[in-house]
């Protein structure tokens, strides 16, 4: 099959490759970039495990072709961290609130929650549930995850310049 060049900035690093047009962004990240933190659950847009940030927007990387993101910026779970390389507020809150068990869904939740709180720093419980309705978790019953979003929201509020 005819292959096409693709150049993507992932977590601030440039990756270039030549891929078949049918290669998804998820497979590109995992196989061409070696970034296996992005997980594949359903591979048809239902579970949210493959969620990454594409130019800042949460997208399902199993539904996007790598060639479509040529020239764009991707952030995967490997690129989400605190300013000093520590856990980000979302990651720390998931740990603190027991928002994960097997962890398979967790990269998708980390990216989705990061985008959710950036767009809505103080979501209500129903906004949290709506915001995470595209991410499936088979282990936690969601209560710990929702508590983690609340906790991350509080942490971010405490750390915002207006509060200092």
- Choosing from 3, 7, 138, 159, the residue that interacts with ligand FES (CB under 6 A) is 138
Token duo for residue 121:
């720093």
Alpha-carbon gap, residue 108 to 99, rounded angstroms: 12
> Is residue 140 a contact residue for ligand FES (CB under 6 A)?
yes
Asked if residue 40 binds ligand FES (CB under 6 A), the reply is yes
Separation of alpha carbons 86 and 88, rounded Å: 6
114, 86 Cβ separation under 8 angstroms = no
Q: Which stretch binds ligand FES (CB under 6 A): 86-94, 95-103, 117-125, 155-163?
A: 95-103
DSSP bridge pairs for 19 = 4
Q: In the structure encoding, which two tokens stand for residue 148, read together? A: 């983690």
Q: Which is nearer to ligand FES, 5 or 141 (CB)?
A: 141
By CB under 6 A, the residues from 105 to 134 that bind ligand FES are: 105-106
Cβ proximity to ligand FES: between 92 and 139 the closer is 139
Q: In what order do the strands lie in the sheet with 4-10?
A: 13-19, 4-10, 73-75, 51-54, 57-60
Q: How far is the CB of 50 from ligand FES (least distance, A)?
A: 3
- Residue 59 binds ligand FES (CB under 6 A): no
Residues that bind ligand FES (CB under 6 A): 40-43, 45-50, 60, 62, 100-106, 137-140
């Amino acid at each position: 099959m005819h292959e096409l060049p693709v150049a993507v900035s992932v977590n601030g690093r440039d990756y270039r490759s030549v891929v078949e047009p049918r290669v998804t962004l998820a497979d590109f990240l995992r196989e061409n970039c070696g970034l296996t933190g992005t997980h594949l659950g359903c591979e048809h847009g239902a579970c949210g495990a493959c969620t990454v940030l594409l130019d800042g927007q949460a997208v399902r990387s199993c539904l996007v072709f790598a060639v479509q993101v040529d020239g764009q910026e991707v952030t995967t779970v490997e690129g989400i961290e605190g300013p000093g390389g520590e856990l980000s507020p979302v990651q720390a809150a998931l740990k603190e609130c027991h928002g994960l068990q097997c962890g398979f869904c967790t990269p998708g939740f980390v990216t989705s929650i990061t985008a959710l709180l950036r767009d809505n720093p103080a979501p209500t419980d129903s906004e949290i549930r709506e915001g995470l309705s595209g991410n499936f978790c088979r282990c936690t019953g969601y209560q710990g995850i929702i508590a983690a979003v609340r906790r991350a929201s509080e942490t971010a509020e405490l750390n915002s310049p207006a509060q200092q």
